[in-house]
Amino acid sequence: MHEMAIAEGILDIVLDYAARNQATKVTKIQLLLGEMSGVETDALQFCFEALSKKTLAEGTNLTLHRVPLMGHCKDCDATTQIERYRFLCPHCDSANLEIVSGRELQVEFLEVE
């Protein structure tokens, strides 16, 4: 399962950070999650909870910060939010769009004790 692998990756980062900071508990994790990262948030939460049992991250407060899908038009220089995966510039109808955000999948913020 896709989300299980992602949750494992996140847990690795978190536990590594906790170990380097001699933490005894991970209290908060915030993830940056792009709209286009293709992650099921419920599944990710569930996998993370299951994997983090009996680790420093057990029972941590995991929040997801969703990043909208934004495109920059190379023809008219407008930056707009892309709705419903319609990859056309709403200003000039150009398909010459560059994705500037929405693919993120990373730990944004960590709090340990």
Amino acid code (one letter) for 46: F
- For residues 2 and 91, which CB has a smaller minimum distance to Zn ion in the complex? 91
Cα–Cα distance measured from residue 52 to residue 58, given in angstroms and rounded to the nearest whole number: 5
According to the binding rule CB under 5 A, does residue 73 interact with Zn ion? yes
- Helix/strand/coil for 20: helix
Give the x-and-dash track for 26-55 against Zn ion (CB under 5 A).
Answer: ------------------------------
Q: How many helices (H) and strands (E) does the chain have?
A: 2, 6
Q: Which residues are annotated as a binding site for Zn(2+)?
A: 73, 76, 89, 92
Which chain residues interact with Zn ion by CB under 5 A? 73, 75-76, 89, 91-92, 94
